[in-house]
Amino acid sequence: MVVAAFLFSVMGACVKWAGRHYGIAEIVLYRSLIGAVILYVFVLWRGTSLSTPHVSMHIRRSIAGTVALALWFYATTLLPLGTAMTLNYSSSLYLAAAVVGVALHQGQRVDAKLAFAVVAGFAGVLLVLQPSFSRDQGVVALAGVLSGVLAAVAYWHVRELGQLGEPEWRTVFYFSLTGTVLGLAGSLMTGLSSHSGDGVLLLAGVGVSALLAQLAMTRAYGSRHTLLVANLQYSAIVFASIIGLTLFGDQISVIGWVGIAVIIVSGVLASTVTARRHNSAPAEITSVEPAAEK
């Protein structure tokens, strides 16, 4: 999971660089196309089927995930890399908030630790936002927040698809296919950019780092140490912040660093509480790694 977190941070850096050569829709297009092609080859090699009885759910999950991906890419190109990564990884807090909301709606007892994690996490988001962008970057910051919200929606559908027996590779394939279609549509509307050697290498870096990260992440979750893996995912925020400082000269204030730390601690607490309650309450949401959307 640490390797996956590092590779997703590398992907974020490639996106930030690629944003100087390509539009957001184009980056989504090529990132998704690489994944779709490789997964389709995998399907042919394994002789499995892409047919599914859950088409509508795949569509909802894929659209939410693709829009979340595009918004995260947009925020990444304009905000400090660590800030953009933090806002996207706050999706676990929105999932935890959904758990609290469902419990309140059903008249169930709300876990005090989980409620505290949600409140503290949202306070951390406010701390990250307040010092990390100027007034003219409000739309960009909002895009980063929405990327986390929509990622949480996508993870909810991922969980439902998993409960219905859909294999992970099929879910990821339809997500990549949808990203390819929507990315192509957006690119045709905004115009396709001409390629350069640096641009092609950056696009390849986005696609390959994402693929290798997903493979590492899948291997990590296959170890069955789910709680440990879910908590280690937040190391991506640390890697992204270090890369942002080193390669892009990103400046994050002390308050911003405090907010990042609060979000990480709150996310770990929310993951721990939901994982421990999962066995006794199957209907609840366990922590799902935001990295899966990338």
> What are the tens digits of pLDDT across the range 84-116?
888 887 777 777 777 778 777 777 777 788 788
Using 50, 70 and 90 to split pLDDT, how confident is the model at 218? Answer: low
Using 50, 70 and 90 to split pLDDT, how confident is the model at 283? Answer: very low
pLDDT at 213: 84
pLDDT at 58: 92
Q: By mean pLDDT, which of 124-133, 138-147, 249-258, 280-289 is the weakest?
A: 280-289
pLDDT at 221: 65
pTM: 0.82
SS3 at position 109: coil
What would the mean pLDDT of 131-147 be, rounded to a whole number?
73
Provide the domain limits for residue 149: 2-293
**150-185 pLDDT, tens digit each:** 887 887 788 788 888 888 888 889 999 999 999 999
d(CA 12, CA 239) in angstroms, rounded, equals 10
Q: By mean pLDDT, which of 32-36, 126-130, 138-142, 290-294 is the weakest?
A: 290-294
What would the mean pLDDT of 23-52 be, rounded to a whole number?
92
d(CA 65, CA 80) in angstroms, rounded, equals 22
Using 50, 70 and 90 to split pLDDT, how confident is the model at 275? Answer: low
Q: Is the pLDDT of residue 223 over 70?
A: no
Mean pLDDT for all residues in the chain: 82
What would the mean pLDDT of 112-127 be, rounded to a whole number?
79
What would the mean pLDDT of 43-56 be, rounded to a whole number?
91
Residue 204 CA, chain-centre distance (Å), reads 19
Give me 239's structure tokens. 């890697």
Residue 258 CA, chain-centre distance (Å), reads 22
pLDDT at 290: 44
d(CA 80, CA 88) in angstroms, rounded, equals 13
Q: Is the pLDDT of residue 69 over 90?
A: yes
Q: Is the pLDDT of residue 292 over 60?
A: no
What would the mean pLDDT of 243-261 be, rounded to a whole number?
86
What would the mean pLDDT of 231-247 be, rounded to a whole number?
87
Q: Which helix (H) or strand (E) holds 228?
A: helix 226-232
d(CA 210, CA 15) in angstroms, rounded, equals 11
% pLDDT > 90, the chain: 33
pLDDT at 288: 39
d(CA 39, CA 33) in angstroms, rounded, equals 10
Domain count, the chain: 1
